[in-house]
Amino acid sequence: MTITLPQLVEGARATLERDRARCPDPELQARLRDREGEAGAAQRLRRALGGPRLDVIAEIKGASPLAGTLQASLEPAALARAYCEAGAAAVSVLTEERHFAGHLDHLRAAAAAVTQPVLRKDFIIDPYQIRQAALAGAAAVLLIAEALSAEQLQDLVGVAHELHLDALVEVHATTSLAAAVASGSGLVGVNNRNLETMEVDWHHCLNIAADLPDDVIRVAESGLGRARQLRQVHAAGYDAVLIGTALVSASEPGTALRRLRSEVA
């Protein structure tokens, strides 16, 4: 199944309006205020990444539009624990329901199961979704530069920071890189998947590595899962990689991650 970024954004918009009808903005913000004392320290994801070794953000997702079902009976809490016991610096949880078999409950379960920072990965276009993420226990959200104007991107990064969440700003095209850096997130992800065609070229992150400023945390995403790739990515200056399908589709994802990290080291 091939699907484009605009279609994914429209699906996210429909889910957003459904959620907003169930829990209007004032109610959601009241719930957040009730939990203010439980908020974790800011910049948890930034502090977890950027050490001397290449860090791994390990992803939880039930399916993908191209690969279909990845785990028929997904157990987010158990998978998050397995990843973190295997050395993951952070966990990414896909919450998009229509094409990735995700859910906010998966985020809640993962965040409650581990102490490592958990990232909400979705097609975020509205502050409401960031507030949902904060309420569910996320330490960070993913924002896609190609899905937002430069002004929207900066505003959403600001909302995340107000809620003590990090924002990992993802780009594919180099034309979006300036807006990603200017957003002030301090975290830039380079997606090797072209979200217009869904084609993946893992060399893409290597080709634009030199364009990334030194003062941001650099994350390579998509099409990665072999030690040889990860060594080249690290040598190119990336601080972390986000790995999903290669781990989720393994018979024992925790073991697969532990083996991969050992091979890279």
What sign has the CA pseudo-torsion 5, 7, 10, 15?
A: negative
147 vs 68, more confident: 147
Give yes or no for residue 2 having a pLDDT over 90.
Answer: no
pLDDT by residue (tens digit) across 6-22?
A: 999 999 999 999 999 99
- Give the per-residue pLDDT at 60: 96
- Give the per-residue pLDDT at 36: 67
User: With bands split at pLDDT 50, 70 and 90, how would you rate the model's confidence at 64?
Assistant: confident
Q: How large is the average pLDDT for residues 230-253?
A: 95
203 vs 41, more confident: 203
Least confident of 32-36, 49-53, 93-97, 98-102: 32-36
pLDDT by residue (tens digit) across 135-184?
A: 999 999 999 999 999 999 999 999 999 999 999 999 999 999 999 999 99
Distance CA 129, CA 107 (A): 13
Number of domains within the chain: 1
Q: How large is the average pLDDT for residues 203-232?
A: 96
- Give the range of the structural domain holding residue 196, as residue numbers without chain letter: 5-264
Please report, for the domain that includes residue 213, its CATH number. Answer: 3.20.20.70
Amino acid at 255: T
- Give the per-residue pLDDT at 84: 98
Antiparallel, parallel or unpaired: β 217-221 and 187-191: parallel
- Give the per-residue pLDDT at 35: 75
73 vs 37, more confident: 73
Identify whether the C-beta of residue 111 lies closer than 8 Å to the C-beta of residue 100: no
Q: How large is the average pLDDT for residues 47-72?
A: 85
Give yes or no for residue 39 having a pLDDT over 60.
Answer: no
Give yes or no for residue 108 having a pLDDT over 70.
Answer: yes
Give yes or no for residue 37 having a pLDDT over 60.
Answer: no
- Give the per-residue pLDDT at 38: 55
- Give the per-residue pLDDT at 43: 85
Give yes or no for residue 230 having a pLDDT over 90.
Answer: yes
- Give the per-residue pLDDT at 41: 66
Amino acid at 202: W
Mean pLDDT of the chain: 93
- Give the per-residue pLDDT at 58: 98
* Residue 190, C-beta contacts closer than 8 angstroms, at least 6 positions apart: 170, 171, 172, 204, 205, 208, 209, 212, 218, 219, 220, 221, 238
